Structure 1
Amino acid sequence: MLAWLWTRLSDGGPQVAISGRALRRFPEREVERLLRKRVLIEHPKADSWSVCAHCECGLDVRPIRQMGDELRACCPHDAVEDVVLEPDDLRRFGIDADNLISAMAASAGFPAAATVVADGLWLLGRLPTGICVFLCHDADLLMAPATMLATRMAAGSAPITVIATEVDPATELHLRAAGIEARSLAECVLLDDHGMENIAFDRLSPIAVTAPRLVLSRSRQSVVFDGRRLDLTPQMFALIRLFAEQAGQRDPVLRKEMIDARTGRPANEIVRDLRKALVGCGLSRSAVDDLIVTVRGYGYRLGMAPEEVAIED
């Protein structure tokens, strides 16, 4: 139930309202428990009901009336469209975000209360495996440099896993390249023998994260390869930047005609000069040949995976 409430809160925002009808899927004792813990906040009961989807009565809502033993949301045009209600249908609830997050942390076995790291991001605790587990509404929040820095400071040297309602593949790859593992909440939910949801962050295991080997800074025009700073001329920096940008494309090959057009020099000549410059920076000839790979008949490419390349502003 906690995971379901978190999804509703993430989708609907802090003012989300939940009906008693929606909560009937859960055991009554669980609803009452969360009311006592102030995770669910009961609001005044509803005194009206939504109109039919196809109705042309012009009303915003329809009235609720007691008719004999039945409670009905009455359609002003057609009694067949009346909705028979249960008393719980009129109950309305809000969600206290802080109490929900604390309950999620406790459900997962974390001993301490969750800590606010940034707007929309909480540190839940550390697993026995050493992983620091964070919870956020939206994994895209971590794309902001300040939020990513705050996350790293809160985790220290520990591996980082961020749990979000959903994680799209592009964001997941970007965060993984930055040393942050992003998982969806659904991966951490188990059903017990009674069909109840339980949060089990201990299912998470460290995933090997590939740190960037080649890091370029556009503003500083600097290049670092395997921890070694490479002092390149502006022309050579511009060329290796082309290689780095192409590495993230579906076709990583930088074609000869593209090099000719972008640099104003024949591809074979300027690539030869780049290789010489890299050797002059202290790289071995074999390391340079592995870094700048010739694709015969087409052009050249970087000899590394896209996640091993990082381009900074």
Structure 2
Amino acid sequence: MLAWLWTRLSEGGARVSISGRALGRFPASDVERLLRAQVLIEERRADTWSVCAECDCGLDARPIEQLDGAFRVCCPHDPAEDVILQKDDLRRFSVDVDRLVARITASGNLGGAVACIADGVWLLGETPSGHAVVLSFDADNLVAPGAVMTIRAAVGPKPIMAIVHDLSAAIAVRLREVEIEPREIAAVFKPGSDGTERLVLDPPSSVPRLVMTLSAQSVTLDCRRLDLPTQMFALFRLLIEQSVKRDPVLKKQEIETQMGRPANEIARDLRNAIVSSGLSEAQAKSLVATVRARGYRLGLDPGEVVIEP
């Protein structure tokens, strides 16, 4: 329900009105819990309804009438456009954004204080693995001029995860280029043992996404084999080994020293090899992420990677 509420706010704005019928998809106990916590706030019941889509009656809204115990919205021109309402249709709720953010944070057991650090962007705290977590209404907020600088000033040198709704591939690439790992909000909420949803950000170490086997010089990503030539395999190994260090960026100078080729050329060849294995160009750029003016980094969390002998 928390992820659903955040999605509604992202799509409709902080002042969006939510009907009782829309909340009917969730258990009444969950709705009641959020009402008690004042995350949801019940507003005055609706007494008007929108006009028909193609109507030329001149009304701004149609009044809601109660007839014989039923609630009806009548069209003055076409009775076929009359609407029969249920009581829950009349209930209206708003959302206290700050309390919702605090509830999302608590569901993930994040450490540290919650703070609004920019327009539509909150710092939630820190995961057990040491990642700072930010939550944004809109992914565009994170790539606006000065946004990354503001976030960095708030979190310091920690690695960053950003939770957003409706993440495009283009913005995901841009965020990874500035060392921010984006996550879709719908993908990071999981049901807990008590049935309530929880924010789960640290990937389980028992289910690696990428496996590199040194003896066979093979790499698999999400069960897909990546056919990498020897030199590309060597560069990919450097990226993986660097990803677990305090600074996960493999610097251009180090690449050129180790590989004997310009960093941009060999990184381009590595991405081309990844694309030849069946991934898209956007996925290749995300996996071998450019860090502007510094070098390259692996676009995966260290917990998602395993190196085997």
Normalised by the length of structure 1, the TM-score is 0.65
| Structure 1 residue 6 displacement after superposition | 0.7
Change (3 A) 1:309 1:161: closer
8 Å Cα contact 2:112-2:126 kept in structure 1:
no
**Aligned ranges for residues 69-88 of structure 1 at < 5 Å?**
69-88=69-88
1:169-184 to 2 correspondences below 5 Å: 169-184=169-184
Determine whether 1:153 maps to 2:153: yes
**2:3 match:** 3
Task: Tell me the CA shift for residue 213 of structure 1.
Answer: 3.4
Q: Alpha carbons of 1:20 and 1:213: their partners in 2 closer, same or farther (altered >3 Å)?
A: same
Which residue number corresponds to residue 89 of structure 2?
A: 89
Q: Write the letter of the residue equivalent to 1:310.
A: R
Does the CA contact (< 8 Å) of 1:66 and 1:72 recur in 2?
yes
Could you tell me whether the CA contact under 8 Å between 1:163 and 1:183 is conserved in 2? Answer: yes
Post-superposition Cα deviations, 1:126-152, rounded to whole Å, max 9, x if no partner, equal 111222211112233232463212322
Aligned counterpart, 2:164: 164
Shift of 1:48: 0.9
Question: SS state of the match for residue 201, structure 1?
Answer: coil
Verify the 8 A CA contact 1:188 1:204 in the aligned structure 2. no
Q: What's 2:306 paired with?
A: none
> Take 1:226 and 1:285, find their aligned partners in 2: how far apart are those partners?
6
Partner amino acid for 2:266? Answer: G
Change (3 A) 1:212 1:150: farther
Aligned mates of 1:199, 1:184 — CA distance in 2: 11
Q: Name the CA distance, whole Å, in 2 between partners of 1:284 and 1:114.
A: 43
2:199 is matched by which residue type in structure 1?
I
Q: In structure 1, what residue type is equivalent to 2:249?
A: A
Spell out the pairing of 1:36-47 with structure 2 (5 A cutoff): 36-47=36-47
Q: What is the correspondence of 1:64-213 to structure 2 with a 5 Å cutoff?
A: 64-110=64-110, 112-144=112-144, 146-191=146-191, 197-203=197-203, 211=249, 213=251
Q: How many residues align?
A: 237
Query: How far did residue 311 of structure 1 move?
Result: 5.5
Q: CA–CA distance in 2 between the matches of 1:198 and 1:83? A: 38
The alignment status of 1:49 with 2:45, answered yes or no, reads no
For the residues of structure 2 that align with 1:285 and 1:24, how far apart are their CA atoms? 60
Q: Deviations over 1:177-210 (max 9, x none)?
A: 2221111111102246898644323448899666
Are 1:303 and 2:262 an aligned pair? no
1 CA distance for matches of 2:50 and 2:162?
38
> In structure 1, how many angstroms separate the alpha carbons of the residues matched to 2:17 and 2:133?
28
Aligned-partner Cα distance in 2 for 1:145–1:80: 51
Looking at structure 2, the residues matched to 156 and 175 of structure 1 have their Cα atoms a distance apart, in angstroms, of 17
8 Å CA contact 1:124–1:134 kept in 2: the answer is yes
Q: Which of 58-67 and 110-119 deviates more? A: 110-119
196 and 25 in structure 1: CA distance in 2 versus 1, 3 angstrom threshold = farther
Give 1:211 deviation, angstroms: 2.9
CA distance in 1, matches of 2:13, 2:202: 28
Q: CA RMSD in A?
A: 3.2
How far apart in 1 are the matches of 2:105 and 2:173? 26
Q: Which residue does 1:291 correspond to in 2?
A: 262
Specify the SS of the correspondent of 1:55.
Answer: coil
Partner Cα separation in structure 1 for residue 58 and residue 181 of structure 2:
51
Unmatched 5+ stretches in structure 2 = 210-239, 269-284, 295-309
SS state at 1:182 partner: strand
What is the SS of the residue equivalent to 1:190? strand
Q: 1:106, CA displacement in angstroms?
A: 1.0
Which is greater in Rg?
1
Paired amino acid for 1:213: K
Structure 1, unmatched stretches of 5+, are 215-224, 228-282, 293-300
What's the secondary structure of 1:4's corresponding residue?
A: helix
Q: How does 1:243-262 map onto structure 2 within 5 Å?
A: none
Q: Could you say if the C-alpha distance between residues 188 and 155 of structure 1 is closer, same or farther in structure 2, counting changes exceeding 3 Å?
A: same
Taking the aligned partners of 1:131 and 1:285, their CA distance within structure 2 comes to 29
